[in-house]
A and B are shown apart, each in its own frame.
Chain A
Amino acid sequence: MMKALKSNHRIASFFLLVMAGILIIHSGTTFLEMHKPDTLFPGPGVTGKGKLSDYVPRLKDTPMDTDLYFLKGKEPGGKFLIFGGTHNDEIAAHVSAITLLENAVVKKGELIIIPRVNRSGSTYTLEMEAYPQFLEIKTSKGVRKIRTGARYANWAHQFPDPEVYAHPLTGQKYPGTESRNLNRVYPGRANGFIMEKVAAALIEFINREKINLVLDMHEAYAEHYVVDCLVGHDRAMELVAMTLMALQMEGISIKMFQSPKKVYGFSHRAIGEHTDAMVVLAETTNIAFGKFRGKITQDLLWDGKDPFYDLLYRKGKLFVEYDSKKGISLDERVARHLTTVMELSRSLSEYDESKTIEIDNIPEYSELLDKGIIGLLEPKERNDRFQ
Protein backbone atom coordinates (compact mmCIF):
# COMPACT_ATOMS: atom_id res chain seq x y z
CA MET A 1 0.00 0.00 0.00
CA MET A 2 2.85 2.40 0.92
CA LYS A 3 4.38 1.67 -2.48
CA ALA A 4 1.14 2.56 -4.25
CA LEU A 5 0.83 5.79 -2.20
CA LYS A 6 4.40 6.81 -3.00
CA SER A 7 3.96 6.16 -6.72
CA ASN A 8 0.73 8.17 -7.01
CA HIS A 9 0.86 11.36 -4.99
CA ARG A 10 -2.78 12.29 -5.70
CA ILE A 11 -4.05 9.04 -4.17
CA ALA A 12 -1.73 9.67 -1.20
CA SER A 13 -3.11 13.22 -0.79
CA PHE A 14 -6.67 11.97 -0.86
CA PHE A 15 -5.85 9.20 1.62
CA LEU A 16 -4.18 11.67 4.01
CA LEU A 17 -7.11 14.09 3.71
CA VAL A 18 -9.47 11.30 4.76
CA MET A 19 -7.14 10.43 7.67
CA ALA A 20 -7.14 14.10 8.77
CA GLY A 21 -10.95 14.05 8.54
CA ILE A 22 -11.11 10.99 10.83
CA LEU A 23 -8.75 12.74 13.29
CA ILE A 24 -10.90 15.90 13.21
CA ILE A 25 -14.09 13.91 13.91
CA HIS A 26 -12.42 11.92 16.70
CA SER A 27 -10.85 14.92 18.47
CA GLY A 28 -13.97 17.06 17.90
CA THR A 29 -16.16 14.36 19.48
CA THR A 30 -13.74 14.12 22.43
CA PHE A 31 -13.89 17.90 22.97
CA LEU A 32 -17.69 17.94 22.67
CA GLU A 33 -18.01 15.18 25.32
CA MET A 34 -17.26 17.88 27.90
CA HIS A 35 -20.22 19.96 26.74
CA LYS A 36 -22.63 17.26 27.98
CA PRO A 37 -23.84 17.92 31.54
CA ASP A 38 -22.71 15.65 34.38
CA THR A 39 -25.09 12.92 35.46
CA LEU A 40 -26.12 13.95 38.96
CA PHE A 41 -28.29 12.14 41.50
CA PRO A 42 -30.12 14.81 43.54
CA GLY A 43 -30.63 13.39 47.03
CA PRO A 44 -33.61 13.16 49.37
CA GLY A 45 -33.05 16.71 50.64
CA VAL A 46 -33.52 18.40 47.26
CA THR A 47 -36.90 20.15 47.17
CA GLY A 48 -36.58 22.07 43.91
CA LYS A 49 -34.46 22.70 40.85
CA GLY A 50 -34.24 25.79 38.71
CA LYS A 51 -32.02 27.70 36.34
CA LEU A 52 -30.30 31.02 36.81
CA SER A 53 -32.26 32.19 33.75
CA ASP A 54 -35.53 31.65 35.71
CA TYR A 55 -34.41 34.72 37.68
CA VAL A 56 -32.42 36.49 34.97
CA PRO A 57 -34.10 35.66 31.61
CA ARG A 58 -31.36 37.27 29.51
CA LEU A 59 -29.18 34.19 30.26
CA LYS A 60 -31.72 31.73 28.78
CA ASP A 61 -30.26 29.41 26.09
CA THR A 62 -26.72 30.77 26.62
CA PRO A 63 -23.64 28.88 27.89
CA MET A 64 -23.77 31.09 31.00
CA ASP A 65 -27.08 29.64 32.26
CA THR A 66 -26.63 27.08 35.05
CA ASP A 67 -28.61 24.78 37.35
CA LEU A 68 -29.65 25.73 40.87
CA TYR A 69 -30.72 23.16 43.47
CA PHE A 70 -32.91 24.12 46.42
CA LEU A 71 -32.83 22.17 49.70
CA LYS A 72 -35.54 23.70 51.86
CA GLY A 73 -36.13 22.68 55.47
CA LYS A 74 -39.58 22.22 57.01
CA GLU A 75 -38.89 25.02 59.49
CA PRO A 76 -37.96 28.57 58.42
CA GLY A 77 -34.48 29.96 58.96
CA GLY A 78 -31.59 31.49 57.06
CA LYS A 79 -30.66 31.14 53.38
CA PHE A 80 -27.22 29.78 52.52
CA LEU A 81 -25.98 29.88 48.90
CA ILE A 82 -23.07 27.65 47.88
CA PHE A 83 -20.94 28.05 44.74
CA GLY A 84 -18.99 25.18 43.21
CA GLY A 85 -17.13 25.41 39.91
CA THR A 86 -16.15 29.08 39.89
CA HIS A 87 -12.81 27.65 38.70
CA ASN A 88 -13.57 24.19 37.35
CA ASP A 89 -10.01 22.84 37.57
CA GLU A 90 -10.26 23.31 41.36
CA ILE A 91 -12.15 20.05 41.50
CA ALA A 92 -12.76 19.72 45.25
CA ALA A 93 -15.11 22.73 44.97
CA HIS A 94 -17.65 21.25 42.56
CA VAL A 95 -17.20 17.71 43.93
CA SER A 96 -18.11 19.11 47.38
CA ALA A 97 -21.16 20.90 45.93
CA ILE A 98 -22.28 17.69 44.17
CA THR A 99 -21.71 15.64 47.37
CA LEU A 100 -23.88 18.11 49.27
CA LEU A 101 -26.75 18.11 46.80
CA GLU A 102 -26.74 14.29 46.63
CA ASN A 103 -26.69 13.77 50.41
CA ALA A 104 -27.61 16.78 52.54
CA VAL A 105 -31.02 17.05 54.16
CA VAL A 106 -31.98 20.46 55.52
CA LYS A 107 -34.15 20.62 58.64
CA LYS A 108 -34.21 24.38 59.22
CA GLY A 109 -33.61 27.18 56.74
CA GLU A 110 -32.62 26.70 53.12
CA LEU A 111 -29.52 25.63 51.24
CA ILE A 112 -29.19 26.65 47.59
CA ILE A 113 -26.42 24.90 45.65
CA ILE A 114 -24.99 25.93 42.27
CA PRO A 115 -22.55 23.11 41.39
CA ARG A 116 -21.21 24.86 38.25
CA VAL A 117 -21.44 28.56 38.76
CA ASN A 118 -19.10 29.05 35.75
CA ARG A 119 -20.77 26.49 33.47
CA SER A 120 -18.90 27.68 30.37
CA GLY A 121 -15.60 26.85 32.13
CA SER A 122 -16.76 23.26 32.70
CA THR A 123 -16.87 22.56 28.94
CA TYR A 124 -13.10 22.40 28.26
CA THR A 125 -9.69 22.13 29.88
CA LEU A 126 -6.92 24.71 29.58
CA GLU A 127 -4.50 24.45 26.66
CA MET A 128 -0.99 23.08 27.38
CA GLU A 129 -1.92 21.87 30.90
CA ALA A 130 -2.85 18.25 29.99
CA TYR A 131 -5.49 18.28 32.72
CA PRO A 132 -7.75 15.19 32.51
CA GLN A 133 -11.21 15.96 31.12
CA PHE A 134 -12.95 13.86 33.76
CA LEU A 135 -12.49 12.87 37.38
CA GLU A 136 -13.05 9.12 37.59
CA ILE A 137 -14.82 7.89 40.71
CA LYS A 138 -14.54 4.15 41.24
CA THR A 139 -17.90 3.35 42.87
CA SER A 140 -19.30 -0.12 43.63
CA LYS A 141 -21.55 0.26 40.55
CA GLY A 142 -18.73 1.10 38.16
CA VAL A 143 -16.71 4.17 37.23
CA ARG A 144 -18.61 7.42 37.55
CA LYS A 145 -17.22 10.39 35.63
CA ILE A 146 -17.49 14.02 36.68
CA ARG A 147 -16.08 16.72 34.39
CA THR A 148 -13.08 18.73 35.51
CA GLY A 149 -12.83 21.99 33.49
CA ALA A 150 -10.99 25.29 33.49
CA ARG A 151 -10.78 28.47 35.57
CA TYR A 152 -11.75 30.64 32.59
CA ALA A 153 -14.93 30.57 30.53
CA ASN A 154 -14.51 28.70 27.23
CA TRP A 155 -12.97 30.94 24.55
CA ALA A 156 -15.41 29.34 22.11
CA HIS A 157 -18.09 31.26 24.04
CA GLN A 158 -16.17 34.57 24.08
CA PHE A 159 -13.74 35.50 21.34
CA PRO A 160 -11.60 37.56 21.16
CA ASP A 161 -10.46 38.60 24.64
CA PRO A 162 -9.57 42.26 25.12
CA GLU A 163 -5.83 43.03 25.24
CA VAL A 164 -6.22 44.29 28.82
CA TYR A 165 -9.24 43.80 31.10
CA ALA A 166 -9.92 46.96 33.10
CA HIS A 167 -12.38 46.36 35.94
CA PRO A 168 -15.38 48.57 35.09
CA LEU A 169 -15.78 50.01 38.62
CA THR A 170 -12.19 50.50 39.72
CA GLY A 171 -10.22 50.57 36.47
CA GLN A 172 -7.89 47.95 37.96
CA LYS A 173 -6.02 46.30 35.08
CA TYR A 174 -5.70 42.55 34.47
CA PRO A 175 -4.51 40.52 31.45
CA GLY A 176 -7.31 40.22 28.87
CA THR A 177 -7.94 36.51 29.67
CA GLU A 178 -9.16 37.58 33.13
CA SER A 179 -12.29 38.94 31.44
CA ARG A 180 -13.28 35.25 31.35
CA ASN A 181 -12.46 34.70 35.05
CA LEU A 182 -15.63 34.90 37.15
CA ASN A 183 -13.69 35.67 40.33
CA ARG A 184 -12.15 38.84 38.90
CA VAL A 185 -15.19 40.50 37.34
CA TYR A 186 -17.68 40.91 40.21
CA PRO A 187 -20.12 42.68 40.48
CA GLY A 188 -20.31 42.27 36.70
CA ARG A 189 -22.32 44.07 34.04
CA ALA A 190 -25.58 42.94 32.43
CA ASN A 191 -24.21 43.72 28.95
CA GLY A 192 -20.49 43.12 29.58
CA PHE A 193 -18.14 40.20 28.95
CA ILE A 194 -19.41 36.64 29.34
CA MET A 195 -18.42 36.24 33.02
CA GLU A 196 -19.53 39.78 33.85
CA LYS A 197 -23.02 38.73 32.74
CA VAL A 198 -22.90 35.71 35.10
CA ALA A 199 -21.59 37.85 38.00
CA ALA A 200 -24.36 40.44 37.49
CA ALA A 201 -26.97 37.66 37.34
CA LEU A 202 -25.68 36.13 40.60
CA ILE A 203 -25.86 39.52 42.34
CA GLU A 204 -29.47 39.90 41.11
CA PHE A 205 -30.31 36.39 42.33
CA ILE A 206 -28.78 36.97 45.78
CA ASN A 207 -30.66 40.26 46.20
CA ARG A 208 -33.96 38.86 44.99
CA GLU A 209 -33.77 35.70 47.15
CA LYS A 210 -32.49 37.72 50.16
CA ILE A 211 -29.61 35.30 50.71
CA ASN A 212 -27.95 35.60 54.15
CA LEU A 213 -24.69 33.77 53.55
CA VAL A 214 -22.66 32.93 50.41
CA LEU A 215 -19.79 30.44 50.30
CA ASP A 216 -17.56 30.40 47.19
CA MET A 217 -15.45 27.20 47.23
CA HIS A 218 -12.00 27.08 45.61
CA GLU A 219 -8.64 25.32 45.59
CA ALA A 220 -5.16 26.78 45.30
CA TYR A 221 -1.66 25.46 44.72
CA ALA A 222 0.58 24.91 47.73
CA GLU A 223 3.10 27.56 46.66
CA HIS A 224 0.45 30.31 46.86
CA TYR A 225 -0.12 31.98 50.24
CA VAL A 226 -3.93 32.14 49.96
CA VAL A 227 -4.34 28.41 50.60
CA ASP A 228 -6.06 26.32 53.30
CA CYS A 229 -7.90 29.43 54.42
CA LEU A 230 -11.14 31.33 54.66
CA VAL A 231 -11.44 34.82 53.20
CA GLY A 232 -14.34 36.91 54.42
CA HIS A 233 -15.96 40.20 53.58
CA ASP A 234 -15.79 42.76 56.42
CA ARG A 235 -19.34 41.98 57.58
CA ALA A 236 -18.58 38.24 57.65
CA MET A 237 -15.37 38.37 59.71
CA GLU A 238 -17.02 37.54 63.05
CA LEU A 239 -18.67 34.54 61.41
CA VAL A 240 -15.37 33.53 59.80
CA ALA A 241 -13.57 33.73 63.17
CA MET A 242 -16.23 31.55 64.85
CA THR A 243 -16.02 29.02 62.01
CA LEU A 244 -12.22 29.03 62.04
CA MET A 245 -12.13 28.14 65.74
CA ALA A 246 -14.65 25.33 65.24
CA LEU A 247 -12.62 23.95 62.32
CA GLN A 248 -9.38 24.12 64.29
CA MET A 249 -11.05 22.24 67.15
CA GLU A 250 -11.80 19.45 64.67
CA GLY A 251 -8.08 19.26 63.85
CA ILE A 252 -8.15 21.24 60.61
CA SER A 253 -5.18 23.53 60.05
CA ILE A 254 -6.66 26.70 58.58
CA LYS A 255 -6.07 30.46 58.55
CA MET A 256 -8.25 33.47 57.77
CA PHE A 257 -7.94 36.69 55.77
CA GLN A 258 -10.10 39.76 55.50
CA SER A 259 -11.06 40.58 51.93
CA PRO A 260 -8.73 43.35 50.67
CA LYS A 261 -10.67 46.53 49.94
CA LYS A 262 -8.72 47.48 46.84
CA VAL A 263 -9.06 44.18 44.98
CA TYR A 264 -12.60 44.64 43.87
CA GLY A 265 -13.42 41.89 41.34
CA PHE A 266 -13.39 39.04 43.87
CA SER A 267 -16.61 37.44 45.14
CA HIS A 268 -15.68 38.06 48.80
CA ARG A 269 -15.39 41.81 48.17
CA ALA A 270 -17.95 42.74 45.50
CA ILE A 271 -20.84 40.44 46.51
CA GLY A 272 -20.43 41.79 50.05
CA GLU A 273 -20.60 45.37 48.74
CA HIS A 274 -23.55 44.89 46.38
CA THR A 275 -25.80 42.63 48.46
CA ASP A 276 -26.79 42.23 52.12
CA ALA A 277 -25.28 38.73 52.23
CA MET A 278 -22.22 37.78 54.26
CA VAL A 279 -19.64 36.32 51.88
CA VAL A 280 -16.91 33.78 52.56
CA LEU A 281 -14.44 32.17 50.16
CA ALA A 282 -12.79 28.85 51.13
CA GLU A 283 -9.54 27.47 49.71
CA THR A 284 -8.05 23.98 49.99
CA THR A 285 -4.74 22.72 48.55
CA ASN A 286 -4.71 20.96 45.18
CA ILE A 287 -1.29 19.56 44.29
CA ALA A 288 -2.44 18.60 40.76
CA PHE A 289 -3.20 22.26 40.23
CA GLY A 290 0.29 23.40 41.22
CA LYS A 291 2.93 24.65 38.81
CA PHE A 292 5.64 22.17 39.83
CA ARG A 293 3.59 18.97 39.58
CA GLY A 294 4.50 16.06 37.37
CA LYS A 295 2.09 14.39 34.98
CA ILE A 296 -1.54 14.90 36.02
CA THR A 297 -3.08 11.47 36.39
CA GLN A 298 -6.25 10.23 38.07
CA ASP A 299 -4.03 9.10 40.96
CA LEU A 300 -2.61 12.61 41.39
CA LEU A 301 -6.12 14.11 41.31
CA TRP A 302 -7.21 11.66 44.00
CA ASP A 303 -4.21 11.33 46.32
CA GLY A 304 -2.20 14.52 45.72
CA LYS A 305 1.10 12.63 46.04
CA ASP A 306 3.87 14.31 44.03
CA PRO A 307 7.56 13.92 44.99
CA PHE A 308 8.45 17.26 43.30
CA TYR A 309 6.59 18.99 46.10
CA ASP A 310 8.74 17.30 48.78
CA LEU A 311 11.68 19.23 47.34
CA LEU A 312 9.76 22.53 47.44
CA TYR A 313 8.63 21.83 51.00
CA ARG A 314 12.20 21.13 52.14
CA LYS A 315 13.28 24.42 50.57
CA GLY A 316 10.54 26.25 52.49
CA LYS A 317 8.65 27.30 49.36
CA LEU A 318 5.21 25.96 50.33
CA PHE A 319 2.51 27.54 52.49
CA VAL A 320 1.22 24.16 53.75
CA GLU A 321 2.86 21.15 55.36
CA TYR A 322 3.59 18.50 52.75
CA ASP A 323 4.81 14.92 52.59
CA SER A 324 4.32 13.05 49.32
CA LYS A 325 4.00 9.73 51.19
CA LYS A 326 0.79 11.07 52.75
CA GLY A 327 -0.27 13.47 49.99
CA ILE A 328 -3.27 15.81 50.17
CA SER A 329 -6.13 13.64 49.02
CA LEU A 330 -9.40 14.66 47.38
CA ASP A 331 -11.15 12.96 50.33
CA GLU A 332 -9.38 15.36 52.70
CA ARG A 333 -10.05 18.43 50.53
CA VAL A 334 -13.75 17.65 50.11
CA ALA A 335 -13.98 16.83 53.84
CA ARG A 336 -12.54 20.30 54.60
CA HIS A 337 -15.09 22.03 52.33
CA LEU A 338 -18.03 20.01 53.67
CA THR A 339 -16.98 20.64 57.28
CA THR A 340 -16.64 24.35 56.45
CA VAL A 341 -20.23 24.32 55.15
CA MET A 342 -21.44 22.60 58.32
CA GLU A 343 -19.51 24.89 60.67
CA LEU A 344 -20.50 28.05 58.79
CA SER A 345 -24.17 27.11 59.08
CA ARG A 346 -23.73 26.35 62.80
CA SER A 347 -21.93 29.67 63.31
CA LEU A 348 -24.65 31.57 61.43
CA SER A 349 -27.26 29.95 63.66
CA GLU A 350 -25.33 31.09 66.77
CA TYR A 351 -24.73 34.54 65.29
CA ASP A 352 -28.42 35.16 64.53
CA GLU A 353 -31.01 32.63 65.71
CA SER A 354 -33.58 33.82 63.16
CA LYS A 355 -31.19 32.71 60.41
CA THR A 356 -30.66 29.19 61.75
CA ILE A 357 -29.66 26.58 59.18
CA GLU A 358 -29.64 22.93 60.24
CA ILE A 359 -28.10 20.46 57.81
CA ASP A 360 -28.26 16.73 58.37
CA ASN A 361 -26.82 13.63 56.70
CA ILE A 362 -23.29 14.98 56.16
CA PRO A 363 -20.69 12.97 58.15
CA GLU A 364 -18.28 14.63 60.57
CA TYR A 365 -14.74 15.50 59.39
CA SER A 366 -13.04 12.50 61.06
CA GLU A 367 -15.59 10.11 59.56
CA LEU A 368 -15.12 11.64 56.10
CA LEU A 369 -11.36 11.13 56.41
CA ASP A 370 -11.78 7.53 57.59
CA LYS A 371 -14.37 6.40 55.05
CA GLY A 372 -13.61 8.74 52.14
CA ILE A 373 -16.14 10.39 49.86
CA ILE A 374 -16.78 7.62 47.32
CA GLY A 375 -19.58 6.16 49.45
CA LEU A 376 -21.36 9.53 49.30
CA LEU A 377 -21.05 9.67 45.50
CA GLU A 378 -22.44 6.21 44.71
CA PRO A 379 -24.93 6.43 41.82
CA LYS A 380 -28.44 6.37 43.28
CA GLU A 381 -31.88 5.95 41.79
CA ARG A 382 -32.46 8.92 39.50
CA ASN A 383 -35.07 11.35 40.78
CA ASP A 384 -36.86 12.36 37.57
CA ARG A 385 -38.30 15.50 39.19
CA PHE A 386 -34.88 17.11 39.26
CA GLN A 387 -33.25 16.00 35.98
Chain B
Amino acid sequence: MDEAAIIGLLYKLIIVYFIVIFITNLFRKKKISDQVMYAAILVPFVLRLFSIK
Protein backbone atom coordinates (compact mmCIF):
# COMPACT_ATOMS: atom_id res chain seq x y z
CA MET B 1 0.00 0.00 0.00
CA ASP B 2 1.53 3.35 -1.02
CA GLU B 3 1.63 6.54 1.06
CA ALA B 4 -1.32 8.17 -0.76
CA ALA B 5 -3.54 5.11 -0.23
CA ILE B 6 -2.74 5.07 3.52
CA ILE B 7 -3.54 8.80 3.83
CA GLY B 8 -6.77 8.24 1.84
CA LEU B 9 -7.78 5.41 4.17
CA LEU B 10 -7.02 7.46 7.31
CA TYR B 11 -9.03 10.35 5.86
CA LYS B 12 -12.05 8.07 5.38
CA LEU B 13 -11.69 6.68 8.92
CA ILE B 14 -11.70 10.26 10.30
CA ILE B 15 -14.85 10.99 8.26
CA VAL B 16 -16.56 7.87 9.65
CA TYR B 17 -15.57 8.96 13.18
CA PHE B 18 -17.16 12.39 12.67
CA ILE B 19 -20.31 10.92 11.10
CA VAL B 20 -20.78 8.68 14.18
CA ILE B 21 -20.26 11.70 16.49
CA PHE B 22 -22.75 13.83 14.53
CA ILE B 23 -25.46 11.15 14.53
CA THR B 24 -24.92 10.47 18.25
CA ASN B 25 -25.20 14.18 19.03
CA LEU B 26 -28.24 14.51 16.76
CA PHE B 27 -30.06 12.00 19.00
CA ARG B 28 -28.63 13.37 22.28
CA LYS B 29 -29.45 17.04 21.78
CA LYS B 30 -32.85 18.26 22.88
CA LYS B 31 -32.81 21.71 21.29
CA ILE B 32 -34.23 21.61 17.75
CA SER B 33 -31.72 24.18 16.38
CA ASP B 34 -28.80 21.96 17.52
CA GLN B 35 -30.42 18.93 15.95
CA VAL B 36 -30.90 20.78 12.63
CA MET B 37 -27.22 21.82 12.70
CA TYR B 38 -25.99 18.23 13.21
CA ALA B 39 -28.29 16.94 10.44
CA ALA B 40 -27.08 19.64 8.01
CA ILE B 41 -23.34 19.13 8.58
CA LEU B 42 -23.80 15.40 8.09
CA VAL B 43 -24.51 15.89 4.36
CA PRO B 44 -21.03 16.86 3.03
CA PHE B 45 -19.35 14.29 5.28
CA VAL B 46 -21.39 11.40 3.85
CA LEU B 47 -20.75 12.63 0.27
CA ARG B 48 -17.00 12.79 1.02
CA LEU B 49 -17.07 9.29 2.52
CA PHE B 50 -18.35 7.89 -0.78
CA SER B 51 -16.09 10.22 -2.87
CA ILE B 52 -19.13 11.65 -4.63
CA LYS B 53 -18.07 14.83 -6.38
Contacts and interface: CB of A to CB of B under 8 A. Distances in A.
B21 interface: no
A6 B7 CA distance: 42
A24 B49 CA distance: 12
A159 B4 contact: yes
A309 interface: no
Given A9-B29, A17-B23, A20-B43, A28 B52 contact: yes
B9 to A, nearest CB: 11
A24 B46 contact: yes
A351 interface: no
A32 interface: yes
B46 to A, nearest CB: 5
B32 A20 contact: no
Contact of A12 (B4, B23, B35, B51): B35
A124 B51 CA distance: 12
A13 interface: yes
B5 to A, nearest CB: 10
Interface in B8-39: 8, 11, 23, 26-27, 29-30, 32, 35-36, 38-39
B52 A31 contact: yes
A16 B35 contact: yes
Contact of A159 (B11, B30, B42, B43): B11
A5 B50 CA distance: 31
Contacts of B35: 9, 12-13, 16
Contacts of A28: 47, 50, 52
Nearest to A31: B52
B11 to A, nearest CB: 7
Interface residues of B, number: 23
Contacts of A156: 51-53
A10 B7 CA distance: 36
Interface in A264-310: none
Given A20-B40, A27-B43, A9 B30 contact: yes
A154 interface: yes
A16 B29 contact: no
B27 to A, nearest CB: 5
A32 B26 CA distance: 28
Interface in A136-187: 154-156, 159-160
Contacts of A9: 29-30, 32, 35
Given A28-B47, A31-B52, A160 B26 contact: no
Contacts of A32: 52
A16 B25 CA distance: 12
B43 to A, nearest CB: 5
Contacts of B32: 5-6, 9, 12
Nearest to A20: B39
Contacts of B36: 16
B4 A160 contact: yes
B39 A16 contact: yes
A160 B7 contact: yes
Nearest to A18: B39
Contacts of A27: 43, 47
Contacts of A19: 39
A159 B51 contact: yes
Interface in A1-42: 5-6, 9-10, 12-13, 16-17, 19-20, 23-24, 27-28, 31-32
Interface of B: 4, 7-8, 11, 23, 26-27, 29-30, 32, 35-36, 38-40, 42-43, 46-47, 50-53
Interface of A: 5-6, 9-10, 12-13, 16-17, 19-20, 23-24, 27-28, 31-32, 123-124, 154-156, 159-160
28 contacts: A5-B32, A9-B29, A9-B35, A12-B32, A13-B26, A13-B35, A16-B26, A16-B35, A16-B36, A17-B26, A17-B42, A20-B42, A23-B43, A24-B42, A24-B43, A24-B46, A24-B47, A27-B47, A28-B50, A28-B52, A123-B53, A155-B53, A156-B52, A159-B4, A159-B11, A159-B51, A160-B7, A160-B8
